[in-house]
Structure 1
Amino acid sequence: MPMQFNKLILWNFVAVAVLASWYWLPGHGFWFQIDRAVFYFFNNKLGESQAWVNMIAVANNRAFDAVALLVMGLVYYSYYRKADAEQKRRLLIVGLLMLLTAVGLNQLGRTIPVERPSPTLTFDNIHRLTELAGFKTKDASGDSFPGDHGLMLMIFTGFVWRYLSWRAGLWGCLFVVIFSAPRVMGGAHWWSDIYVGAFAVAVFGLAWLLQTGLMDAVIGWLNHRLPRFKRAG
């Protein structure tokens, strides 16, 4: 894939503009208004129904993260199982690089000079999921920006859109909304942790990796260098 200079500039501009509009506006400007409205909408619901509390608490339990991994894995595997041997080798390399990219961009996100406690640690007189549920769950974070779950999901979306198909990319977009929602609904993350912080980091990083041809070059290099194993017989 040749370098897509116009797209690279566009996506870098989008990432910087979104992050700057949040970072430089006093009190985070209109983003905070959205954050507060979203938080109180879902927090008020925690006081209305124990069934709702239990559902959100389950979705915020660490074990539930495996569901997101399983669903993403199933989408990836649905393409892998239909591929020929050479394509399967390439998809394994892409999967490995996707995981390494997730680790790298997560570290990049941590370099943003922001330490932001979650809304449950910011507002008073609120419902706490950990107090209402009868089992272990999560409803707070001392440093919630950018949202790491949302970032991982967005990286998956970018990779499968590029290397699988646009249909897989649309599934990825749906997963971003569905699997990042519990952290927002439970109060462990602000809405903007996902749709400003994670979005900006993902768009910036993926633009440089996918629009410059860099990732394609690394995939090609690994495909050439890694040993090939032949089946016996």
Structure 2
Amino acid sequence: MNKPDLFQPRWNASGLILCNLAALVLLGLWLWPSAHEAMTAFDQGFYTWVNQPLATNTTWRYLWTVGSLRPFDAVVGLILLFLLIRGDWVFRAVQVRQAFWGFIAVLLLLLVIRALFSKLCDRLGWQHDSISMVMPNAVHLSDWFPHLEKTWELKDRSSNSFPGDHASVLLIWAMYMTVAARRAGQVVLVWALAALFSLPRLVAGAHWGQDDYIGGVLMALLALGWGYYTPFVAHASGWLTRVTAPLFNLLQRLPLVNRLSVISA
């Protein structure tokens, strides 16, 4: 019995145009002086609200310190992966493997777009320091836990803050899951997780809010548009599925592992 194809190798002009137009509108708003000033004022107020309690509230400080560590990113990645490859949740069990490779392909496209856009930002002077390096009286987690900054890559500052690369990955995952979601509850959970897991960088001050809701969204929209709404994802996921088939055939022989939809499909 043939498995149904998840992606079709065709152009979706309306989806592609919408994604690119939305990205251009966001960039235009960010470059418009009045809007940029409003965004900056909002980000400063939000940062003060969530960052200052780090100095006085031990629970708050420990919570966001853990969330800002590099190993926590791996935990987040596993959670996102679990939801992606969980059969018959967003994707049908027989389509999970193709969905997995489709996301990997779109994610790789995001990395290319991110690298090119970063070079454009450097060239045009759009790059800026983290909010924690600009705001007076900022509470730096790295000052409280200097050993964690070295050993576990605690991140609370950067001289290349725009766009938010961490947020762009969360957002492309959320958008990818949303276009395939079948129930409103799935969409709510996906976006709640994306918002929650983006907060540590904002609380610690590694990014301005606009690095995420402008830069991160912009990057994700471009990757979704050129990846999902063109033949790219169909061809890339199909090729990756065929190339890795021998590996997955071997994994099907492993107890417990072979119960995963991404393996057994």
Distance 1:63 1:227 in 2: 27
Distance 1:37 1:206 in 2: 31
How far has the Cα of 1:45 moved from its partner? 1.6
Alignment of 1:62-211 (within 5 A): 62-79=70-87, 83-84=93-94, 87-113=95-121, 114-133=126-145, 136=148, 137-163=154-180, 165=182, 168-211=186-229
Number of matched residues? 230
What's 2:65 paired with? 57
Are 1:11 and 2:23 an aligned pair? no
What's 1:25 paired with? 33
Structure 1 residues 11 and 94, CA, compared in 2 at 3 Å: closer, same or farther? closer
- The percent identity for this pair of structures is 26
Q: Which amino acid aligns with 2:195?
A: V
Distance 1:80 1:92 in 2: 13
Contact 1:161 1:169 (C-alpha < 8 Å) held by counterparts: yes
What's 2:3 paired with? none
Distance 2:78 2:101 in 1: 19
Give secondary structure in 2 for the equivalent of 1:66: helix
Q: Which amino acid aligns with 1:101?
A: L
What's 2:262 paired with? none
Structure 1 residues 21 and 178, CA, compared in 2 at 3 Å: closer, same or farther? same
Find 2:48's aligned residue among 40, 51, 54.
40
Structure 1 residues 13 and 226, CA, compared in 2 at 3 Å: closer, same or farther? same
Q: Which amino acid aligns with 1:226?
A: V
Contact 1:147 1:198 (C-alpha < 8 Å) held by counterparts: yes
Give secondary structure in 1 for the equivalent of 2:155: coil
Distance 1:199 1:88 in 2: 25
Structure 1 residues 222 and 127, CA, compared in 2 at 3 Å: closer, same or farther? closer
Q: Which amino acid aligns with 2:170?
A: L
Listed as ranges, the gaps of 5+ residues in structure 2 are: 1-7, 149-153, 254-265
Deviations 1:33-68 (A, max 9, x none): 111111111122223312211111111111111121
Give secondary structure in 2 for the equivalent of 1:79: coil
How far has the Cα of 1:185 moved from its partner? 0.8
Listed as ranges, the gaps of 5+ residues in structure 1 are: none
Structure 1 residues 134 and 44, CA, compared in 2 at 3 Å: closer, same or farther? same
How far has the Cα of 1:16 moved from its partner? 0.7
Distance 1:164 1:53 in 2: 35
Q: 59-68 or 90-99, which moves further after superposition?
A: 90-99
Structure 1 residues 206 and 111, CA, compared in 2 at 3 Å: closer, same or farther? farther
How far has the Cα of 1:213 moved from its partner? 3.6
How far has the Cα of 1:18 moved from its partner? 0.9
Distance 1:204 1:88 in 2: 24
Q: Which amino acid aligns with 1:128?
A: H
Structure 1 residues 68 and 208, CA, compared in 2 at 3 Å: closer, same or farther? same
Over 6 Å off, 4+ runs:
none
